[in-house]
A and B are shown apart, each in its own frame.
Chain A
């Protein structure tokens, strides 16, 4: 797909796709976390989760605004967030998985944070100054997200028999959605060739080591690294969950186009 285009167009297209992969993962995860608002297990957790969600929304805005400029079709961050359909979303399948119980939510967050943090560190060295700037700002927020989610995984895994069982079940259930984080395709190749992004595949071993370490402390069993993995989110093929998320998230703009407040 990229080969047939002029080099600049190819790079711009790859960058647009690549930015959507970042923005859509943070956006959909934030939307999921926001579902907990008002009903988390403790008031402090409720506020903490909303804080994380708001951090991610802030990052989403920066990524989407740049994606819109890169595309050059005049789409704003809001239009990109609220007026695209599921097959145009490029988020990881992991982040669209249901909140489930609190262990499901926290393990999903930990898997994501443990990848998101080193990814942003890599992107902070991007040759694209805008990407480097956004990543450098986001990485400080995500350092805290990771500290928090890792801490909670240890507490729940090494907590009561019940919390251990639930956390282990969450770890096993969500495992097959983690392979996608380390994939590499033509879009990534183009970004890497320009020095605008790093190779996500190189993050896999450190990610595994990190998860293994936290799971050991949490007395959890690490699922088999070579297990079969789901794929497709980064190319717009999603689980049925995404449609429901978008239906709720986009309702207002779909029902009342251009509504503002």
Chain B
């Protein structure tokens, strides 16, 4: 058994209606204690209304080497942005 506690990624929702946002990570032997530790380490200044913790090992991340094939094709496709399309005069707020 490793002597180090596993790493957990911490996500905090700063207020109702917003999404959880990654804020950092903590070490803990299990989920319950990870939640406690996240509360103690990451919400000392009234940062949130909800905490998620996820085992860092359970997160599958894209590889930095894949940056080209994954993201570059989108660079040349500005028409995917809504601002690309002209707005009719009559529409005031959209």
Taking A42-B5, A42-B27 as contacts, is the C-beta distance between A47 and B41 under 8 angstroms?
Answer: yes
A48 to B27, CA, bound (A): 13
Neighbour of B37 across the interface among A44, A144, A147, A155, CB < 8 A: A44
Q: A151 CA to B27 CA in the complex, in Å?
A: 16
Contacts of B28 in A (CB 8 A): 44
A44 contacts B32, C-beta separation under 8 Å: no
A interface residues, how many (CB within 8 angstroms): 11
Tell me if A51 is interfacial: C-beta within 8 Å of chain B.
Answer: yes
Q: In the complex, are the beta carbons of B5 and A48 less than 8 A apart?
A: no
* 0/1 string, B24-47, CB within 8 A of A gives 1: 001111001100110111001000
The answer to whether B33 touches A151, judged by C-beta atoms less than 8 angstroms apart, is yes
> In the complex, A47→B26 CA distance in Å?
11
Query: Known contacts A47-B41, A51-B44; is A148 also within 8 Å of B27 by CB?
Result: no
Report the minimal beta-carbon distance from A23 to chain B, rounded to whole angstroms: 23
Contact A148 B36 (CB under 8 A): yes
A193 is an interface residue with CB less than 8 A from chain B = no
Cβ contact within 8 Å between B41 and A151: no
A51 touches B5 (CB 8 A): no
Instruction: Judge whether B40 and A51 touch: CB under 8 Å.
Output: yes
Interchain CA distance A43-B41 in the complex, whole Å: 9
Q: Which residues in chain B, 2-41, are within 8 Å of chain A measured between CB atoms?
A: 5, 26-29, 32-33, 36-37, 39-41
B45 to chain A, nearest CB (A): 11
* Chain A 30-79 residues near chain B, CB threshold 8 A: 42-44, 47-48, 51
Inside 8 A of B41's CB, which chain A residues have their CB?
43-44, 47-48
CB-CB under 8 A for A151 and B5, given A42-B27, A44-B27? no
Q: Using CB atoms, name the residue of chain A closest to B28.
A: A44
A42, A51, A144, A151: the one contacting B32 at CB < 8 Å is: A151
User: Which residues 133-151 of A sit at the B interface, judged by CB distance below 8 A?
Assistant: 144, 147-148, 151
Least CB distance, A220 to chain B, in whole angstroms: 19
CB-based contact A48/B37 at 8 Å: yes
| Contact assessment for B44 and A44 in the assembled complex, using a CB-CB cutoff below 8 Å | no
Which chain B positions have C-beta within 8 A of A151?
A: 32-33, 36
Determine whether the beta carbon of B36 is less than 8 Å from that of A48. Answer: yes
- Residues of B near A44 (CB, < 8 A) are 26-28, 37, 40-41
New contact pairs (17) apart from A43-B27, A44-B40, CB-CB < 8 Å: A42-B5, A43-B41, A44-B26, A44-B27, A44-B28, A47-B41, A47-B44, A48-B37, A48-B40, A48-B41, A51-B40, A51-B44, A147-B36, A148-B36, A151-B33, A151-B36, A155-B29
Pairs across A and B, CB under 8 Å, 5 listed: A47-B44, A48-B37, A48-B41, A151-B33, A151-B36
Closest 3 CB pairs of A and B: A44-B37, A48-B40, A47-B41
